[in-house]
Structure 1
Amino acid sequence: MKFWKPGTSTPGEHLNEFDRANEGETQCMVYNSMESYSISQQRLKLPIYQYRTSLLYLVENYPVVVIVGSTGCGKTTQIPQYLHEAGWTEGGRMIACTQPRRVAAVSVAARVAEEMSVTIGREVGYSIRFDDCSDPLLTKIKYMTDGMLLREIMLDPLLTRYPVIMIDEAHERSLHTDILVGLLKKIMKKRPDLRLIVSSATVDAKEFFNFFSGKNTVNPQLDNRVAIMSIPGRIYPVDIYYRTSPVSDYVISSLETVWNIHMNEPEGHILVFLTGQEEIEYLIQLIAEKVAQSKLHPKNWKLLPLPIYSGLSPEQQLRVFTPVSKNTRKVIIATNIAETSITIDDVVYVVDCGFIKIRAYNPKTDSEALIVVPTSQSSANQRSGRAGRVKPGKCYRLYPEEAFHEVLETKSTPEMQRSNLAPVLLQLKAIGIDNVLRFDFMSPPPAKSMIRALELLYALGALDDGANLTPNIGAVIAEFPVEPPLAKMLIASGQLGCSEEILTIAAMLSLQGVFTTPKSGKSNHDNSKRKFSVHEGDHITYLNVYISFLKNGQSQKWCQQHNINFKAMQRAIDIRQQLEKYLRRFKVPLVSAEGEAEKIVKAIVHGYFHNAASLHNDGSYRTLRSNHKLSIHPSSGLFRNPPPWLVFHEVLTTNKEYMRDCTAIESSWLQEIAPHFYQFKHNTLQKVPS
């Protein structure tokens, strides 16, 4: 392991000091750096407290307040409480605070409820997809994902219950956050009493200031009635260490780095950044194996690996905050969710793989894919800052310093400029934005992406020839808390007589990680999945897993035996119940296919006909929409016996572009179900020209 700290004589020389302890470090590991104080004392000691009066003055006098505050300064937990204490929630009103991720909404709500000495779900609540833990009569402060506030706008376009709305983590520029910012700017024309707080952990306030003050935007409105406040955080110095050369496998390098820290460095928990669930579970497995094979720590310290990613249940996510015994060192292995969305006080060491997994849409090939790309300099700095919360820390970047300066972009591209816009445009249409092309986007999306999104919505039957929402399909699928193709699949299932099965498949597709990686390795993971596989494909495989789970009494032991994520299956049951309510609401008949797989597959085609591909002589597939080359993912049940035709759920890009969640189909079904989209020409099925 060769790390180099810039500023030292030569690469490698600093390694002699690898086990040197920092002076003044405490000798205990803590959950909360101020846990010895009462909660009221902790609140008073947060950096934001000294700005309380100034903040309330600005909110009273300015329609928009942009707050720049480093992670941990207290802005997320304290600002809604300050507003509540100042009387903004009187008369049955409520403060809304949005988060880009559900784990943040849940964990922050729990913390604020604790600070206010109230029960979660009453005075303080949260609202995330498929889980609303709030009371319309009692709740004063509600934390929610930005997508849930968008859904509230569909029901209450002026958000009349909220005197103040706080858009937190705005620097992440998520798809829903950017849409919310644009909508709130319109709402404020009708509601001059509404106050908006835009909170960011990075110094990019100028973008938001320009947008709301009317500079560089389509519709100047608020002139100079925008205030900016900067709040410093409690940041200790962090030593940055780089690799002297690129690593071939950053998961293995993460293991080696974690182990070196554990064996040689003083007390302090470790935070590792990886790109996704599979990598995280793999590293946890490797750590467990390393612990089993290695000698004990000199001080008999234990190593406790804990995952944190969006696919976990709220209960699992909150485990990273749980206090541990003095002789236990936590290794928190996270996606970029831990950059700013959550604050873990007791981290002293950070290991940064240098990559991030994003969803990117290519309008030329008309495909959306999960791809792993280098993180940005801004994100890398956020990651390293996690090590300086309670004492001087260390960050180990698994890439050379020149890569930081020459490869990493300054900041990440906003999701609005790299996403499939069909769900966004559908929601805007449902809210009443007729001319979506003229919507005041903070970062205007590419025109090709807009056109492709409108084309897909039209093909799904959600828009008519005038680009208006169709009452029977468009207005209905806009209400569903799932992507438009999945909603269309659910609606079609009633007429096809398979809604019970499609409900289950839709719930399973809404999960992240049904199967777990066993200690015996990834090959056994794939073998576990094949036990449930059928020749029709992966969607029916998910159906079989769910049915077997129920038949075996929802047993956790059964899940362990078959390498199935027990918590994910429990969540699937909850999601299915929620989706069933939507079907009942829209009077979609609840019927079973009674074993007729063709009905189920045809319902899937109703939603995903645009993701059709055919097998070519070279063994690869080509999409019918753009003749784009793809391969079946090795984890698919169809990998060993590829069918001539299939539809897929999504594309994952690694060393190749893989189709995930595939189902075999008949080519004739495409023209039968989507004749407006496909036609036979010269005995070949082709996409109808746009």
Structure 2
Amino acid sequence: MAEDREYDGYNPNPKRRRLDTPGQRFQNDSRASTPHRAQSRYASTPPPRNIGPTEEDSKALDRDWYGGDEFGGHSFGDEAHNPFASYDTWEGQQQETARHEKMTSRFDARRDQRNRENDAWETNRMLQSGVAQRRDMASDFVDDDESTRVHLLVHDLRPPFLDGRTIFTKQLEPIPAVKDPQSHMAVFSRKGSKVVKEARQQRERQRQAKEATSMTGTTLGNIMGAKEEDGDSALPVPAEDNAEPSERKGNKFSAHMKKADGASNFSQSKTLREQREYLPAFAVREDLLSVIRENQVVICVGETGSGKTTQLTQFLQEDGYGKTGMIGCTQPRRVAAMSVAKRVAEEMEVELGSTVGYAIRFEDCTSKETVIKYMTDGVLLRESLNEPDLDRYSCVIMDEAHERALNTDILMGLFKKILQRRRDLKLIVTSATMNSKRFSDFFGGAPEFIIPGRTFPVDVMFHRSPVEDYVDQAVHQVLSIHVSMGPGDILVFMTGQEDIEITCELIQKRLDALNDPPKLSILPIYSQMPADLQAKIFDKAAPGVRKCIVATNIAETSLTVDGIKYVVDAGYSKMKVYNPKIGMDTLQITPISQANASQRSGRAGRTGPGKAFRLARILLTLS
């Protein structure tokens, strides 16, 4: 019983048999010789022991654990009888198995890819040699898992003002579009025209008075059979609806375009061939074509009236670029595209829509024979969706690129990629002098070709003081020109449809108040007018009658009206500006830029010497 007292000198029950401690059991199980086992160095190997824990091991573990709390701690490290000792080994085996499976799957994928490539090569060789033939396989037995799946992500995007959400922003006011928001012209543009406000208020009062006195919808009106008048109805007129198709009023602009007769002395005394040779672009024809042949992108700089819009396409067609594809020319506005196409067709002595045509929104006046095509930049952008490389075109001219419209900027980025894929495509960008360097740097230092000279001189005159009401002052200037100056048509630039209509009414009202004034034909033009009314500005006026055309900025570029000698520039235009209060774009009246002012003044020098009247001081315009 002496061995029972070896457990730290404590034996709670001396009559029980001895229980070894975990440390003693570890020493007894070791291979080294001990006093209790292995009497000789050459003793036989002990029999194999069960690895799993026994009942005695569990009791000893409990005793060691609870006994350690009483006597100041216990010892760890007996991994031989720890039931959780093999957990780390099992976890390592699992990681090694997962790593092996991953490597095996990678090798299997490579082997499958190699087998598929070998099978495809053998199949191709057998088909090429004629040993085997391909037969159609029933698609009903094909596994759907082998087919390629395409995942479509649908985004239902709605603007915040329609979705009912509120956007919080620190920018409460619209970003000013002018350099100096406190200048006289910027302040007057925000106030608006006083004459236009009075006319708008008068129309509103007349409408309210008419609604107040109307019997429509009342009991008396129903008894008397009063019917409601719908002036904005979009229903067809019965007379037009019952007419023959040939007698109906067409909407195509080409159907209303007449052959233009010369209105100025220059156009009446010279033929179309002589007029072409007089243009500054005709004098540098060979040099321009030489630069185009040697370069893929050319920046063409020319002043207003130099003939670059009408002559460049004809030069390219005569040089043979029309044999491999069409020659396209983009315009920023619809009226410009239609009028220029008509002019080029007359110079080439062909019918509009055959060799020379145009394409605008909702109207395509081209055919299979079309070689020269004038179009808006939006039409070309829509064609690029169907033909990313624009394979139908051999040369594209982007006219009036200095305006930097949204479609023009997008086309610039698209052409930069298209030109890398198509080395046979030529791109010509026409721009004003002040913006040509930017386009040249954008296309990697493209050469600039300058067309010198202007067709006819233009005398620009400025107003002495800032004009607060530009509509009233423009009407006054038109009447002053009509009464005191020589023959020649007048072109007035306004901001929008409402300003144009009120300007025409004021001119006619004040003209009637004069004693025996000269005859004046007032013709408005804006984008929402019907095509037949827009075409009237190109008609020759009756003898002894002066034309006064009141237009928006659609008459600013690439639009030549024969006989224009005087230009009245109000100095304002409508620009699309983002308004953070309502979360959408709005049209705001802003002063025009120097490039726009130069383009407007150039309308007076197309067919003869002219004068341009700017309703602003020289310091404000050039600032």
Change (3 A) 1:185 1:32: farther
Matched, 1:399 2:616: yes
In structure 2, the residue matched to 1:152 is 383
For residue 314 of structure 2, the aligned residue among 81, 99, 106 is: 81
| Kept after mapping to 2: 8 A contact 1:31/1:321 | no
Match in the other structure for 1:239: 459
User: TM-score when scaled to structure 2?
Assistant: 0.56
Checking the alignment, whether the CA contact within 8 Å between 2:572 and 2:590 is kept in structure 1 is yes
Q: State the 1:333 CA deviation.
A: 1.0
Q: How far apart, in 2, do the equivalents of 1:281 and 1:197 lie? A: 38
Secondary structure of 2:420's aligned partner: helix
Aligned mate of 2:450, from 230, 238, 242: 230
Task: Give the one of 526, 534, 541 matched to 1:309.
Answer: 526
**Corresponding residue number in structure 2 for 1:90:** 323
Instruction: Say whether 1:256 aligns with 2:476.
Output: yes
TM-superposed CA distance for 1:242, in Å, is: 2.8
Deviations, residues 355-406 of structure 1 (Å, cap 9, x unaligned): 1111122467522001001111222222223223344432222223332244
Q: Which moved more, 1:113-122 or 1:307-316?
A: 307-316
The aligned amino acid for 2:345 is A
Per the alignment, residue 61 of structure 2 pairs with none
8 Å Cα contact 2:479/2:511 also seen in 1: no
Q: Say if 1:103 and 1:314, in contact at 8 Å, map to a contact too.
A: no
Call closer, same or farther: CA 1:202–1:325 in 2, change over 3 Å. farther
Q: Is the contact between residue 201 and residue 340 of structure 1 (CA under 8 Å) also seen in structure 2?
A: no
Counterpart of 2:418 (choices 166, 187, 203) is 187
SS across alignment from 2:443: helix
User: What does 1:11-160 align with in structure 2 at a 5 Å threshold?
Assistant: 30-31=263-264, 33-91=266-324, 93-135=325-367, 137-160=368-391
Counterpart CA distance in 2 for 1:239 and 1:109 is 29
Q: Give the whole-Å Cα distance in 2 for the aligned partners of 1:318 and 1:202.
A: 31
Counterpart among 172, 175, 192 of residue 403 in structure 2:
172
- Residues 385/42 of structure 1: CA separation in 2 closer, same or farther (3 Å cut): closer
2:609 is equivalent to residue 377 of structure 1: no
Q: Does the 8 Å CA contact 2:305/2:602 hold for their aligned counterparts?
A: no
* 1:405-424 aligned within 5 A: 405-406=622-623
Q: In the alignment, is the contact (CA less than 8 A) between 1:169 and 1:199 conserved in 2?
A: yes
User: AA paired with 2:575?
Assistant: I
Does 2:570 align with 1:348?
A: no
> Which structure has the higher relative contact order (CA within 8 Å, separation 6+)?
2
Q: Which amino acid aligns with 2:381?
A: L
Q: 8 Å contact 2:560–2:606 — kept in the other structure? A: no
| SS at 1:127 equivalent | strand
Q: Deviations over 1:293-319 (max 9, x none)?
A: 22223xxx3211112222223333232
SS of the residue aligned with 2:447?
strand
3-state DSSP of counterpart to 2:389: coil
Contact 1:235-1:385 within 8 A present in 2 as well = no
Give structure 1 stretches of 5+ with no counterpart: 1-27, 214-223, 407-690
Residue 128 of structure 1 aligns with an amino acid whose one-letter code is I
Post-superposition CA distance 1:128-150 (Å, at most 9, x none): 01111111x21101000000000
Q: Residue 89 of structure 1 aligns to a residue in which SS?
A: helix
Equivalent AA in structure 2 for residue 330 of structure 1: K
Cα offset for 1:235? 4.5
Structure 1 residue 161: deviation in Å? 0.7
Which residues in structure 2 correspond to 1:531-570 (within 5 Å)? none
Alignment equivalent of 2:515, drawn from 291, 295, 301: 295
Q: Which amino acid aligns with 2:373?
A: K
TM-aligned CA deviation for residue 345 of structure 1 = 4.0
Letter in 1 for 2:534: Q
AA partner of residue 510 (structure 2): K
- Tell me how far 1:166 sits from its aligned partner: 0.4
User: Percent identity between the aligned chains?
Assistant: 49
Equivalent-residue separation in structure 1 for 2:389 and 2:265 (angstroms): 39
Q: Runs of 5+ in structure 2 lacking a partner?
A: 1-260
Larger Rg: 2
* 2:432 and 2:595 in contact (8 A); partners too: no
SS in 1 for 2:268: coil
Match of 1:366 in 2: 583
Structure 1 residues 242, 45: closer, same or farther in 2, change over 3 A? closer
Mapped partners of 2:511, 2:537: distance in 1: 20
Determine the C-alpha separation between the residues in 2 that align with 1:351 and 1:209: 33
Determine whether 1:319 maps to 2:536.
yes
Matches of 1:72 and 1:403 in 2, distance apart?
A: 26
Q: 1:246, 1:399 within 8 Å by CA — same for their partners in 2?
A: yes
Aligned-residue offset at 1:274: 0.7
Shift of 1:29: 9.0
Q: Distance in 2 between matches of 1:38 and 1:337?
A: 28
Please give the TM-score of this superposition, normalised by the length of structure 1. Answer: 0.50
Tell me, in whole angstroms, the C-alpha distance in 1 between the residues paired with 2:374 and 2:505. 34
C-alpha contact 2:340 2:558 (8 A) present in aligned 1: no
* Residue of structure 1 equivalent to 2:186: none
**Distance in 2 of aligned mates of 1:29 and 1:165:** 31
Number of the residue aligned with 1:492: none
**Quick one: distance in 2 between partners of 1:97 and 1:193?**
17
Between 1:96-105 and 1:343-352, the stretch displaced more is: 343-352
Alignment partners' CA distance in 2, 1:243 and 1:295: 27
Amino acid at match of 1:104: A
What SS does the aligned partner of 1:234 have? coil
| Structure 2 CA distance for partners of 1:37 and 1:391, relative to 1, 3 Å | closer
Aligned residues: 363
Residue 32 of structure 1 and its aligned partner are, at CA, apart by 7.4
**Kept in 2: contact 1:306–1:333 (CA 8 A):** yes
Q: Which of the numbers 480, 490, 493 marks the counterpart of 1:270? A: 490
Kept in 2: contact 1:29–1:268 (CA 8 A):
no
Q: 1:61-106: per-residue Cα shift (whole Å, max 9, x none)?
A: 1010111111221111111111111111115x21100001000111
Q: CA RMSD in A?
A: 2.1
Whether contact under 8 Å (1:122, 1:138) holds in the other structure is yes
CA distance in 2, matches of 1:32, 1:175: 40
CA contact (8 A) 1:29 1:267 kept: no
Change (3 A) 1:317 1:32: farther
Call closer, same or farther: CA 1:338–1:201 in 2, change over 3 Å. Answer: farther
Counterpart code for 2:362: F
Give the Å deviation of 1:341: 2.8
Task: Output the amino acid matched with 1:76.
Answer: T
Please tell me whether the aligned partners of residues 279 and 455 of structure 2 are also in contact (alpha carbons under 8 angstroms): no
Amino acid at match of 2:428: I
